[in-house]
Chain A
Amino acid sequence: MQTKVKATEETRYVGAALYADMEAFLARVRANGDAQFLPPAELARVERFLKLEARLLDRRQYKRWVELLAEDFAYWIPGTWKNSSLSREVAVNFDDRRRMLDRIAYTDSGVQAAQTPPSRTVRSLSNVEAWAGAAGSIEVTASLLISEFRRRPMNTFAGTQNMLLTPSGEGFLIKYKVIELLDCDAPQGNNSFIL
Chain B
Amino acid sequence: MSTVHPLNPRPPSGKYDRLVLPNGLVHRSLYTDPQIFEEEMVKIFGGSWVFLLHEGEIPKPNDFKQVTVGRRPTIVARTESGEVVAMLNRCSHRGSPVVTAPCGNARSFVCPYHGWTYANNGELASVTFPAGYGPDFDKKAHNLGRLPRVESYRGYVFGSLNPDVEPLLEWLGNARQHLDWSIDRDQAGPGGVRVVEAIRMTYKGNWKHQNDNNTDGYHTPFLHKATNLMNRQRHGAGKWLSHVNDQTEMVCQYLGHGHKLGDHRPELKSAWQQSRPVPGRETFSEALIAGVGEAQAREQLELVGRAGINLVIYPNLFIMGNGTFAVFEPVAVDLTNIRYHATLINDAPDEINQLRLRFEEDFHSLGSRDDSEIQELVQHTLTVIPEMEWLDISRGTCRQSVDEKTGVITSNKTDDTAIRGGYDWWRTLMNRDVRTTVVV
Contact = CB atoms under 8 A, between A and B. Distances in A.
Contact of B196 (A5, A15, A90): A90
Interface residues on A, range: 35 or more
B282 interface: yes
B278 interface: yes
B280 A11 contact: yes
B229 interface: yes
Contacts of B342: 90
A103 B373 contact: no
A93 interface: yes
A114 interface: yes
A193 B280 CA distance: 23
A90 B361 contact: yes
B349 to A, nearest CB: 13
A57 to B, nearest CB: 16
| Residue of B225, B340, B366 contacting most chain A CB atoms (<10 Å) | B366
Main SS at interface, chain A: loop
B93 interface: no
A12 B282 contact: yes
A95 to B, nearest CB: 7
Contact of A79 (B199, B230, B276, B279): B199
Contact of A99 (B196, B278, B282, B284): B278
Given A15-B280, A114-B369, A106 B200 contact: no
Interface string B355-390: 001101100011001101110000000000000000
A50 interface: no
Contacts of A16: 354
A101 B389 CA distance: 43
B282 A192 contact: no
B373 A190 contact: yes
A161 to B, nearest CB: 18
Contacts of B283: 11-15
| Residue of B196, B199, B235 contacting most chain A CB atoms (<10 Å) | B199
Interface in B262-308: 276-284, 287
Nearest to B283: A15
Interface string B179-200: 0000000000000000011111
Contact of B365 (A13, A15, A103, A186): A103
A79 B198 CA distance: 8
Nearest to A15: B283
B361 A102 contact: no
A34 B365 CA distance: 36
B197 A79 contact: yes
Interface in A79-129: 79-80, 86-96, 98-99, 101-103, 105-107, 109, 111-114, 116
A114 B365 CA distance: 11
Nearest to B202: A187
B200 A185 contact: yes
Interface residues of B, number: 45
A4 B277 CA distance: 13
A186 B331 CA distance: 14
A74 B337 CA distance: 28
Contacts of A40: none
A109 B225 contact: yes
Contacts of B226: 106-107, 109, 111-113
A189 interface: yes
A32 to B, nearest CB: 26
Contacts of A86: 357
Contacts of B201: 187-189
Given A3-B233, A188-B200, A90 B360 contact: yes
A10 interface: yes
Contact of B366 (A87, A96, A106, A191): A106
B234 A4 contact: yes
B199 A92 contact: yes
Nearest to A150: B373
Interface of A: 3-5, 10-16, 74, 79-80, 86-96, 98-99, 101-103, 105-107, 109, 111-114, 116, 185-192
Given A187-B338, A188-B200, A188-B202, 14 more contacts: A4-B234, A5-B277, A15-B284, A79-B199, A89-B197, A90-B196, A93-B361, A95-B279, A101-B234, A109-B226, A113-B374, A114-B369, A189-B201, A192-B370
The 9 closest A-B pairs by CB, nearest first: A187-B202, A112-B226, A113-B370, A114-B369, A96-B279, A14-B280, A15-B283, A187-B200, A192-B369
13 contacts: A3-B234, A14-B280, A15-B280, A88-B357, A90-B361, A91-B199, A105-B234, A106-B230, A113-B373, A187-B200, A188-B200, A189-B203, A192-B370
